[in-house]
C-alpha cells in the first residue's frame, strides 16, 4: 500500500508564502518523478511543477520565478515553496508521484488527497 500525505496548505494574503510538503510511504522501490498539480473551482486540474529522479524540473508558465519544487530523497518527500502568491493561485493542490513499487518494481501513478491553498486579503 502506497500513500502520499500532503501538508502545508492554508490561507495566506496576496504576496505571502506557503510551503507544501508531500511524503510518499509504502512499498516503494524507486521514485521516478514527483510533482504538484492544482484544481481551482470550475476548472480542470493543471500542472504546477514536476521534478524527475534526475533532478530535472518543469514549471507552469504562471508560476515560474515564484514557485520552487524540491525533493528530499532520503524522506521520499517533495516540497513546493510558493512565494509572491496571488489570488489566482487559489486552488486545491494535489501531490503526484510516479513510483516503482513492490518486489517487481511495477510503475504506477499515485495522487495525494489534496490540500487547499487560499490566497485572499
Query: pLDDT tens for residues 25-77?
Result: 998 888 999 999 999 999 999 999 999 999 999 999 999 999 999 999 899 99
pLDDT value at residue 105: 83
pLDDT digits (tens, 9 = 90+) for 1-27: 899 999 999 999 999 999 999 999 998
CA distances from 40 to 3, 52, 72, 99 (A): 23, 25, 28, 26
On the question of pLDDT at 110 being above 90, the answer is yes
Of 83, 93, 107, 110, the C-alpha closest to 3 is 110
Q: Which three cell numbers mark 90?
A: 487559489
Amino acid at each position: 500500500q502506497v500513500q502520499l500525505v500532503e501538508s502545508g496548505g492554508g490561507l495566506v494574503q496576496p504576496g505571502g508564502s506557503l510551503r507544501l510538503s508531500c511524503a510518499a510511504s509504502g512499498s516503494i522501490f524507486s521514485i521516478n518523478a514527483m510533482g504538484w498539480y492544482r484544481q481551482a473551482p470550475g476548472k480542470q486540474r493543471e500542472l504546477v511543477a514536476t521534478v524527475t529522479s534526475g533532478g530535472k524540473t518543469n514549471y507552469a508558465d504562471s508560476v515560474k520565478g515564484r514557485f520552487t519544487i524540491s525533493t528530499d530523497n532520503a524522506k521520499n518527500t517533495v516540497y513546493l515553496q510558493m512565494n509572491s502568491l496571488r489570488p489566482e493561485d487559489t486552488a486545491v493542490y494535489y501531490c503526484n508521484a510516479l513510483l516503482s513499487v513492490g518486489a517487481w518494481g511495477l510503475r504506477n501513478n499515485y495522487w495525494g488527497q489534496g490540500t487547499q491553498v487560499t490566497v485572499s486579503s
